[in-house]
Structure 1
């Protein structure tokens, strides 16, 4: 860190550190050989299970060992066991993976193993609806803690969708909207929260529980607030584009173009303002040419060409993409 005196390691300290690293590597390789040998011999014992625990605590991305662990459960630990015992084993694995996620929140295989545990709860005295309900509620609490720690962890958001879809007691979708609102208001750049919000709305619209047009009108106010707060963050712009869709509604399209033009006056070098205006103006010409007239359509396309040329300078990594659009506009004008 700046202002902090850096201490040099002595040759002895360097040697000791390297010896510790070599020792850990040797231990890991030995444990790996031990576990893979048990796997090869179809060892379904408790000892094999415990060995996978040790290895996965060192390397939680070793998916082959996760698969072996599940086979040990199915072919060994679960055999001739009561539902109570099986549930206890699964609960212990859920606890183990909770601890693992604190250190490795973005390792897919840990999340995947939690799903497997939940999907293998047996029917029986302990596998009743109440037990399952409590278990799924606990899962929702776990994933909310993970999202409190990192609100943009897409693994956690995917798992949250999984939990909400499978919980025995369905959570009101309006409650999930409120949850995404809190996450978005805490951080407008939370793309995963915007994405989750779109999923919830699609479900509510398709089921007829909410009016799509009224929702979009309200959502546009929310997303414009985010766009004006940080014009350079892509999350709100992408959500805005999803709301506009194919631009069939002339009133909404024209209104949003005007709002973005106003923002562009304040942020003349905003890539997202320029790119969005090109996209929406092209939709306007394509879908509403009869309304705006030929002369206005030509004026709008000329503006699009000017903005695309400006974008080639502002956003050089995508210069070729903008040129492709320019080429298509030139062909369309001929």
Structure 2
């Protein structure tokens, strides 16, 4: 009896659920049709703006509605003073923030935040202050989002946008050293943070651009451009990541970037020895074997005689092992071995 009763109740509940879903779909469809008609007729009123909010609450991925919303706002800006424009933009920034808390990876929401920032009024002293307050808020928002999810590449990408777009009047100015400190903090809290490693390559690459090769190599050993960063050895930093989790790709990609295409021989030998030691501890680590094979081949190009043969023999052996561990790329490893 109990089984039958539960079945009937479950069936009734399913009917109720379907009716609710059908009702929601009908409301959504009606609202969508109404707003698309407003858009077609070029209706740019506060009421139309409110309607777009209602629809975006239901579906924040509807990029056509975001575009329409921007057209409405631009039309409203034409008859508004700077304070009113700031108020409208503040409302939209709050709106997008509420959406990002649920949908942190929707491009259209991030794009609308960018649009809001880019449309803050420019002009008298007060509007300049407003602009700086908007950008300062964005930095704070992004830091909170990355504290919550340090691997959210959308947030990292948006952070790069914000930093590159800060107005000249922004105080205090953000420097490359500030960003090095920030990425180091994020990396040390989670070595598998690919986005933080990637941003570090962009920052350091810009700092090293135009330097002579031997100066760059010294900077890799220690970023001595600031007292707070003087003790940062880039290779030591990434080695911590490799030894902590040799199976994570992030650190290995950064290590390969640091090595470059024309490393100093002493540096390359030191790193090969370090990776050989790690490989003895982690013999089945695909990334470890892959890096060691690459560096053996790289070093062999600048050596002669027996050492050259030994390096290439070790590389071939590693590639054979990789073919067994990483069977989906077996043919690739064979092709590389043939060309050694």
Q: Same fold (TM over 0.5)?
A: yes
* Distance (Å, rounded) in 2 between the aligned partners of 1:207 and 1:326: 35
- Written as runs of structure 1 = structure 2, the 5 A alignment for 1:87-98 is 87-98=86-97
Aligned pairs, how many?
316
Residues 1:134 and 2:133 are matched in the alignment: yes
Residues 1:214 and 2:218 are matched in the alignment: yes
Shift, 1:82, TM fit: 0.9
Contact kept in structure 1, 2:122 and 2:131, CA below 8 Å: no
* Distance (Å, rounded) in 2 between the aligned partners of 1:219 and 1:299: 29
Match of 2:58 in 1: 58
Query: Residues 97 and 207 from structure 1, CA distance in 2 versus in 1: closer, same or farther, beyond 3 angstroms?
Result: farther
Q: After superposition, what is the alpha-carbon deviation per residue over 1:136-184, rounded to whole angstroms, capped at 9, x for unaligned?
A: 0100000111111110011100110111112232212212111111111
Match of 1:281 in 2: 296
* Distance (Å, rounded) in 2 between the aligned partners of 1:229 and 1:323: 30
- Written as runs of structure 1 = structure 2, the 5 A alignment for 1:60-79 is 60-74=60-74, 76-79=75-78
Match of 2:204 in 1: 201
* Distance (Å, rounded) in 2 between the aligned partners of 1:42 and 1:324: 60
Residues 1:310 and 2:321 are matched in the alignment: yes
Match of 1:37 in 2: 37
Q: 1:80 aligns to what SS in structure 2?
A: coil
Match of 1:268 in 2: 283
Contact kept in structure 2, 1:264 and 1:270, CA below 8 Å: yes
Q: After superposition, what is the alpha-carbon deviation per residue over 1:204-263, rounded to whole angstroms, capped at 9, x for unaligned?
A: 22387xx53233121000100110011111110111011011133111111100000010
> Structure 1: which 5+ residue stretches go unaligned?
1-6, 330-334
Match of 2:227 in 1: none
Residues 1:247 and 2:262 are matched in the alignment: yes
Match of 2:226 in 1: none
Match of 2:116 in 1: 117
Contact kept in structure 2, 1:260 and 1:273, CA below 8 Å: yes
Shift, 1:125, TM fit: 4.4
Match of 1:22 in 2: 22
Contact kept in structure 2, 1:83 and 1:127, CA below 8 Å: no
* Distance (Å, rounded) in 1 between the aligned partners of 2:245 and 2:133: 40
> Structure 2: which 5+ residue stretches go unaligned?
1-5, 222-232
* Distance (Å, rounded) in 2 between the aligned partners of 1:302 and 1:204: 38
Q: After superposition, what is the alpha-carbon deviation per residue over 1:86-133, rounded to whole angstroms, capped at 9, x for unaligned?
A: 111111111111111111111111111011111111224476322211
Match of 1:185 in 2: 188
Q: 1:110 aligns to what SS in structure 2?
A: helix
* Distance (Å, rounded) in 1 between the aligned partners of 2:125 and 2:40: 34
Query: Residues 194 and 77 from structure 1, CA distance in 2 versus in 1: closer, same or farther, beyond 3 angstroms?
Result: same
Q: 2:101 aligns to what SS in structure 1?
A: helix
Contact kept in structure 1, 2:122 and 2:128, CA below 8 Å: no
Query: Residues 126 and 41 from structure 1, CA distance in 2 versus in 1: closer, same or farther, beyond 3 angstroms?
Result: farther
Contact kept in structure 1, 2:49 and 2:69, CA below 8 Å: yes
| Bigger mean CA deviation after superposition, 121-130 or 227-236 | 121-130
Q: TM-score, normalised by structure 2?
A: 0.89
Post-superposition, which runs of at least 4 consecutive aligned residues in structure 1 deviate over 3 A?
A: 124-127
* RMSD, aligned α-carbons: 1.6
